[in-house]
A = this chain, B = another copy of it.
Amino acid sequence: MNTRPRRICLVGVGLIAGSLGLALKRAEAVETITGLGRGLDRLARAQALGAIDRYTTDPGEAIEDADLVVLGVPLGATAGVMRDLRPHLHDDLVITDVGSAKRCVVDDVETALGAAPPGFVPGHPIAGTEHSGVEAAFPSLFDGRRVILTPLASGRVEATEAVEWLWRQAGAEVTTMSVAHHDRMLAITSHLPHLLAFGLVDMLARDPDHEEILGYAAGGFRDFTRIASSDPVMWRDICLGNREAVLEALSLYRRDLEQLAEKVEASDGTGLEAVFRSAKQTRDAHKHGFER
């Protein structure tokens, strides 16, 4: 198992894997980047954009000389991809992914292979935009961003080292934590906000006056709903993939909204101001972290 992998295979070359390819080439960190996918046109575009050196639609060809495989596919495609790769896997292969939820990826890998292989290290780069596809990829996407790895008890330390090394080459900071802790944190900071933003725009879309109403939307609405321009299939998979943690966060939030509604109903200015003030203080104290 090579802790300094030289031959990388990207399975699915979209925004995240494409940006990883561009970042690794910017750093001249690896020898070869092979793209594996199902659409020749998309793979050719990824090569033309410089995210991969070569490509194939054949899983065996793609990973036969690879040190490390990065699954860059939507969560819902994990199990199918792993089944395709299964006949060609070798013991020294390091495998990681970029999925926004981790328990479901581990489950899918285990289901597809019988057990998670020793080279498998679940990962999640905390970076992205509301755009998707390799056309939206750019090499600095991970600069100074965090990548969370959730190594499994069954995994080898060298595999984690290899994946950590790779992400550092791409400009990211790497931390490790448990699958459950990752899934709970991301449900609150990412999955729930996406659900809330999609929900608000959908509610508006069903208003007969929505064309006019949107004409008067300003910067607050624009930023609040930016993530509602994200890929519907990807977010369907994330919400279902992290179903339990998302439901828990959503339930907590709905209780909070009920209390806020009671305060507005009761014209409880003191109570509302206290909530708003606590929120502003918390956000202002942390904004230099996520606004860098």
Contact = CB atoms under 8 A, between A and B. Distances in A.
A188 to B, nearest CB: 6
**Is the contact region of chain A dominated by helix, strand, or loop, or is it mixed?**
helix
Copies in the complex: 2
Interface in A105-140: 126-130
Nearest to A247: B264
Interface residues of A, number: 93
Interface string A229-247: 1111101110110010011
Contacts of A193: 200, 220-221, 224-225
> Which of A219, A225, A272, A276 counts the most B-chain CB atoms under 10 A from its CB?
A276
> Which of A199, A207, A212 counts the most B-chain CB atoms under 10 A from its CB?
A199
A176 to B, nearest CB: 13
Contacts of A145: 218
Interface in A189-224: 189-190, 192-207, 209-224
Contacts of A188: 203-204, 207, 213
Interface of A: 126-130, 145-146, 148, 185-186, 188-190, 192-207, 209-233, 235-237, 239-240, 243, 246-247, 250-254, 256-258, 260-261, 264-265, 267, 269, 272-273, 275-284, 286-287, 289-291
